Every structure is written in structure tokens, then in C-alpha cells.
């Protein structure tokens, strides 16, 4: 929890605005539960947030996607569809809700490519 709190401050400073969307795609050193906590904490503080987080643990890769509910509805974005698409880069898949979803895979080397491609959904 403490680690996620420290990371949150760093991430808030790194947000980039793209077409009115507060965007960030970043690899962090947190487990799946912490990725979710962090995503919802940031989502509660930042409007129009599109957050992609990637993490590698024990040879496994995780990608999470958080999209502010208003933004998901307004732009027709679906986090579940997005992680399914990006999950291909980590040789995995996943899903979830329109505003939060995660994908797991077995190729941590694909995280950077997946995060980079995530920007296409908002530009």
C-alpha cells in the first residue's frame, strides 16, 4: 500500500494531456492488486484519466487499463477490449469492465510495446 502511494505521486506528475485526456502509460514495479488500487486512487483524483500500467513479476506480465467512466462513455472506449488487444504483446489476454480491465501474459518483454501502442486509443 505504502509503495503504491509513493508511486501515485510520481505518476500524477507524469500525466500528459492528449486531446483533453489525461494519459499515462508506464511500467511500474507493483503486483496486480496494487495496480488496481493505484488505478482507482488516481481515477478518484484525476478527471478524464486514461491510465495504462504494466508490470512484470516472476516471468509473468500484467497490463491494467483504467479509463474514467465519463471518458469511457463519451469516447466509446472500453478497457476490456483495449487489454485484449494489448494482451497480444505479452502473449496473453484478459478483460474486465469498460472502465477497468487487466490482462496477464507470459512475455514481460512485450510490456513496453503494449504500453506504447496504448497511446493510439486516445490520439
Going residue by residue through the chain (123 aa), what tens digit of pLDDT does each one get? 677 778 898 999 999 999 999 999 999 999 999 999 999 999 999 999 999 999 999 999 999 999 999 999 999 999 999 999 999 999 999 999 999 999 999 999 999 999 999 999 998
Query: Quick one: which of 93, 76, 21, 25 has its CA closest to 54?
Result: 25
Looking at CATH, the fold of the domain delimited by 2-121 is given as Diaminopimelate Epimerase; Chain A, domain 1 (3.10.310)
Cα 94 to chain centroid distance, Å, stands at 13
Residues 6+ apart with CB under 8 A from 60: 104, 105, 106, 108
> Residues 6 or more apart from 45 whose CB is under 8 A from it?
12
Ranges of each domain in the chain = 2-121
Amino acid at each position: 500500500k505504502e509503495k503504491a502511494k509513493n508511486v501515485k505521486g510520481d505518476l500524477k506528475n507524469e500525466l500528459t494531456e492528449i486531446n483533453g485526456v489525461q494519459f499515462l502509460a508506464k511500467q511500474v514495479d507493483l503486483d496486480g492488486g496494487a495496480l488496481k488500487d493505484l488505478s482507482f486512487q488516481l481515477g478518484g483524483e484525476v478527471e478524464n484519466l486514461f491510465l495504462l500500467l504494466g508490470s512484470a513479476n516472476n516471468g509473468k506480465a500484467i497490463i491494467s487499463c483504467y479509463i474514467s467512466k465519463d471518458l469511457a462513455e463519451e469516447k466509446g472506449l472500453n478497457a476490456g477490449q483495449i487489454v485484449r488487444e494489448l494482451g497480444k504483446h505479452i502473449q496473453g489476454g484478459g478483460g474486465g469492465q469498460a472502465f477497468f480491465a487487466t490482462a496477464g501474459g507470459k512475455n514481460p518483454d512485450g510490456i513496453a510495446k503494449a504500453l506504447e501502442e496504448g497511446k493510439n486509443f486516445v490520439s
